[in-house]
Structure 1
């Protein structure tokens, strides 16, 4: 009977994870800011066959290693649909991370603890939000969590040499995914402290030669990408390839960490990020802290390693000036694992139940009020939203009804589950919020958020036989164009792009059109002869025929400075 009940609980978790994370798969295109960039690079990999040096348009893309793009291109080769393939890596990575956490909880404590850790992670706001986006972060979280899994299997349950080596190997894979995979190895620091102080359970087994072979696995993982890339760049002696190698190996990694040039935040930034982004699990922290302290006083090495690693990750990312909320995401799985053994006891407390109920009620009333305001309130807000994002009135009404459904479901869940099971009401509410957002929100917002509607209208307007050039373009414009589009650089100044595009257009002015970001239009373009193509991603785009160009397109010093400022803001 116990085995059957445990099996049902496990399968319930699996089904819920697939429902929450998989809902909406295939219902939308890539949305900015990062998704279209990675999908475009992956698509160009497939089209060109060059998987080693990724391109964005005509230029090499060196901001990030190509791991995510490799996954997307490979999965497209399997499923043959970009709408599915671009999101599949995040879904697979999220499910893999959940498996690591659940299995570690089972091995370090009990099956029930593992499931509690999985539930806490599945519904943590930042985890779910990122798992439903096609960014690099879900993949790097998977590889760091796999590295943690291997290290903990050896340090707390070992010796387990294969897992020890795999832990180092996946840390290396994390490095070639986003550069920060090495932070998984910080798990060794609290392990060394615990071993030196003779805490029970934690052992390094450092006297065995096999212990010191692990760094080779780390180097091997990095070499899988680094060696072919460097050898090709050096063999071809291409200036473009050498510049790519220098940028991705030095400027985008060590230099970016030591001399952050964007996203400047105060040192305490993550102390505010975690309480807001790790809810609802983080709501239990005020009760968890004294419980953690008692367990550390009893020299429980499981908490020493998990909590010590979490603290080191926060410290690591707090040192540089540049900080983003997503940087701290890799620490979330181990936080949930450290919290899980305490949850059965905490959920029996009245004050915890009251807090969960208040949070669920606040979430429900907030979504309900937002929906009612959109339907019955003054039209100013929705009018501004429709004007800036290009959302139609019908879509706004449908989104409002969806928000009301979320709020109504949350209130009904609180009434149904009663006072002693507020955690079930919260899980029920969050499930419906994510599912409705995915199944209803994705299709309604897709045209305006992805530039799909803009590019479809552009193709229809210029006709099947026309050629299209893009100026001051974003990745979604090239990705979703219905024909091969000419580009004139991505990082080039907008006025230089426009000048080159006009020269290209004048070679066949009757057949060639330009799609131009409104902020890049210079006085050489007669707007009375151009057409507003549409609004996408809060940007206005104009279709410029050859007859609308009057004279040379040369920017003044004031216009060039304005363009540089706008490009930085983009």
Structure 2
């Protein structure tokens, strides 16, 4: 490695670390996503139950497999219960993706690796996602690990079988991060190189067994301990997410246009123009790749196009659509952009321009700490502390969005309750809209003097009347906060018994 290349690598490493960790803990957790994932992780850490994810003491949370919760809980246990610690696993996943982008590009298109890693590190979507607690970056890192191992196995490495084993480890981690969607790149690898799979069929079967050994024990354990959970996983978390708009995630026929087009356009900033030139030339390339000789000559380009287009097609056809679903595709997009720039003989970006963009990204990260959003759980925690003079052990949201980030910021249990009884059914059992009903919570509240209740100001008269009808009184704590009433409840004292009037016995 010459001096210039070494300097570029060290500069890229330093830049990536700064982008990953600068201002990582400068703001509180944002609900719903950051609060929800961190809440489950804190519950795991406090209860010692790392097998069954819970959103409250008695309600499970089965919408995602456990890898993200395990990673967050481990970080909180190591670094303390802070927003910074909650985001460390995501920041590390971002760095893993930067490194693996470099490694894959070095194999597929030698000479583009530094540019590819730089592109991924500075694209708007990967940078923004690296400061959010979600499953998506841990999934992206796991999938990219699997694809990197495949590329190494197919690129003349001395120990291809060991690389194939690592590939299955990566897919096992992806499966523990998000279930079946984590296996989408496997479809790409099978489509791209089915002959190699047949040639190593015996070992691939052993690799699949390794995958099952790592990925399936958690599923088997929780399904055995929770009757009906298998049907919920398959029916609601797989089939319904793909085929219905049950979860309200842009399921309209045009939903992919409103979600994925802006994600790809804005998410690739400041490299969008290069990505657009690649996309514009793609139809002609696909027609040319009908020729076997053309495919052989453009192996890297074909592989990268498949890596982007096959999962993208699945996401378009699915009726559950969210911007971060595309995050794993930004690794191949970064390599594509680097190859396109080399094809166009474009020089590396000027350091002055790059420094300006990096400062803009850091400024954006810092600005979020001062953005007055209702999503910031730390501000809710401050408002609650200002209105109470005793420790808060539980926060109960009545017919309102639960601010699960308060689990970390207040160290209090969070519950979401309904006025009426919780309906029965498989979906309601494993992913209920509410934890329990008002009557049940009021009975439990007798033994929870540290509980604070929150409801929408517009519904306060109705909720106050329902609480009174159940024999409890309410005390409002301070003025409303963001259109919400913060209050406490207690059982109304029983009326005194009238004095006896009968004649005493003789």
**TM-score calculated relative to the size of structure 1:** 0.71
Residues 500 and 10 from structure 1, CA distance in 2 versus in 1: closer, same or farther, beyond 3 angstroms? same
Match of 2:355 among 425, 428, 437: 428
**Partner of residue 253, structure 2:** 266
Q: How does 1:213-252 map to 2 (within 5 A)?
A: 213-231=206-224, 233=225, 241-252=226-237
**Partner of residue 27, structure 1:** 26
Judge which range, 471-480 or 122-131, deviates more: 471-480
Displacement of 1:347: 5.8
Displacement of 1:265: 3.8
Displacement of 1:243: 4.2
Residues 291 and 11 from structure 1, CA distance in 2 versus in 1: closer, same or farther, beyond 3 angstroms? farther
Which structure has the higher relative contact order (CA within 8 Å, separation 6+)? 2
Q: How does 1:349-428 map to 2 (within 5 A)?
A: 424-428=351-355
Q: Does 1:181 align with 2:182?
A: yes
**Partner of residue 83, structure 1:** 83
Residues 273 and 338 from structure 1, CA distance in 2 versus in 1: closer, same or farther, beyond 3 angstroms? same
**Partner of residue 375, structure 1:** none
Residues 308 and 91 from structure 1, CA distance in 2 versus in 1: closer, same or farther, beyond 3 angstroms? same
Q: Does 1:153 align with 2:152?
A: yes
Q: Is the 8 A contact 1:191 1:204 kept in 2?
A: no
Match of 2:385 among 459, 463, 466: 459
CA distance in 1, matches of 2:155, 2:101: 15
Residues 423 and 205 from structure 1, CA distance in 2 versus in 1: closer, same or farther, beyond 3 angstroms? farther
Match of 1:288 among 275, 278, 292: 278
Residues 485 and 522 from structure 1, CA distance in 2 versus in 1: closer, same or farther, beyond 3 angstroms? farther
**Partner of residue 454, structure 2:** 515
Residues 510 and 97 from structure 1, CA distance in 2 versus in 1: closer, same or farther, beyond 3 angstroms? closer
CA root-mean-square deviation: 3.5
Displacement of 1:227: 3.0
Q: Is the 8 A contact 1:28 1:83 kept in 2?
A: yes
Deviations 1:246-275 (A, max 9, x none): 423542123422334222143652355422
**Partner of residue 502, structure 2:** none
Judge which range, 479-488 or 22-31, deviates more: 479-488
Deviations 1:29-60 (A, max 9, x none): 21122001111111111110111111111311
Match of 1:275 among 256, 265, 273: 265
Residues 501 and 65 from structure 1, CA distance in 2 versus in 1: closer, same or farther, beyond 3 angstroms? same
CA distance in 2, matches of 1:41, 1:95: 24
Match of 1:530 among 464, 467, 476: 476
CA distance in 1, matches of 2:161, 2:95: 25
Deviations 1:96-122 (A, max 9, x none): 011111011122332x41111111111
**Partner of residue 338, structure 1:** 336
Judge which range, 314-323 or 254-263, deviates more: 254-263
Q: Is the 8 A contact 1:151 1:164 kept in 2?
A: yes
Identify unmatched segments of 5+ residues in structure 2.
423-431, 466-472, 494-506
Q: Is the 8 A contact 1:471 1:497 kept in 2?
A: no
**Partner of residue 104, structure 2:** 104
CA distance in 2, matches of 1:190, 1:470: 50
Q: Is the 8 A contact 1:30 1:83 kept in 2?
A: yes
Residues 480 and 210 from structure 1, CA distance in 2 versus in 1: closer, same or farther, beyond 3 angstroms? closer
**Partner of residue 359, structure 1:** none
CA distance in 2, matches of 1:542, 1:315: 46
Q: Is the 8 A contact 1:67 1:177 kept in 2?
A: yes
Deviations 1:63-97 (A, max 9, x none): 11121110011112222243222101101111001
CA distance in 2, matches of 1:546, 1:85: 34
**Partner of residue 305, structure 2:** 307
Q: Is the 8 A contact 2:29 2:83 kept in 1?
A: yes
Identify unmatched segments of 5+ residues in structure 1.
196-202, 234-240, 349-419, 551-570
CA distance in 2, matches of 1:275, 1:524: 45
State the secondary structure of the residue aligned to 1:96.
helix
Q: Is the 8 A contact 1:40 1:475 kept in 2?
A: no
State the secondary structure of the residue aligned to 1:514.
strand
Match of 1:541 among 468, 479, 484: 484
Q: Is the 8 A contact 1:45 1:54 kept in 2?
A: yes
Judge which range, 283-292 or 155-164, deviates more: 283-292
Deviations 1:209-242 (A, max 9, x none): 32443322322232242233334x1xxxxxxx22
The runs of at least 4 consecutive aligned structure 1 residues that moved more than 6 Å come to: 490-496, 508-512, 526-529, 547-550
**Partner of residue 428, structure 2:** none
Q: Is the 8 A contact 1:121 1:333 kept in 2?
A: yes
**Partner of residue 404, structure 2:** 476
Residues 462 and 147 from structure 1, CA distance in 2 versus in 1: closer, same or farther, beyond 3 angstroms? same
Aligned residues: 456
**TM-score calculated relative to the size of structure 2:** 0.79
CA distance in 2, matches of 1:331, 1:512: 44
State the secondary structure of the residue aligned to 2:483.
strand
Q: Is the 8 A contact 1:151 1:187 kept in 2?
A: no
Q: Which has a greater percent of helix?
A: 1
